[in-house]
Amino acid sequence: MEMDPDSLAKAFVEHYYRTFDTNRSGLLGLYQDSSMLTFEGQKIQGAQNIAVKLTSLPFQHCSHHISTVDCQPSGAPGGMLVFVSGTLQLPGEEHQLKFSQMFHLIPAQGSFFVFNDIFRLNYA
């Protein structure tokens, strides 16, 4: 059964942030050597480097809450852009942080990998 793109995007996003919040090193498997992450303006390339960056962020626990998920087809056949807005709760922080993030997902072996990933906190 094929899922429609919006359902696929939502399923990916739920999987991504659940993995981030409960087993961050498990994100490694979503990237490949060609993958790019721009995290708060810092450019990182390759699955290993991206996993090192994400697992070495200066907090152990966090909780993402998704507000919106938009998707559009782009790039390789079956590829899609996924655009997320939401909030991030860090331990010891009174206020949630707003963030937005985009992914370009490329089909690979019956699933997807993250080719592009850009993350920004939305400060005032």
Tell me which residues touch a copy of itself (CB under 8 A): 36, 38, 41, 43, 67-68, 70, 72-76, 79, 81, 83, 85, 87, 98, 100, 102, 104, 115-116, 118, 120, 122-124
The residue among 20 and 83 lying less far from a copy of itself, judged by its C-beta, is 83
The residue among 26 and 49 lying less far from a copy of itself, judged by its C-beta, is 49
Identify the three-state secondary structure at position 23. Answer: coil
Which DSSP helix (H) or strand (E) runs through 16? helix 5-22
The closest of 55, 25, 53 to 40, measured between CA atoms, is: 53
Report d(CA 20, CA 10) in Å as an integer.
15
The residue among 26 and 63 lying less far from a copy of itself, judged by its C-beta, is 63
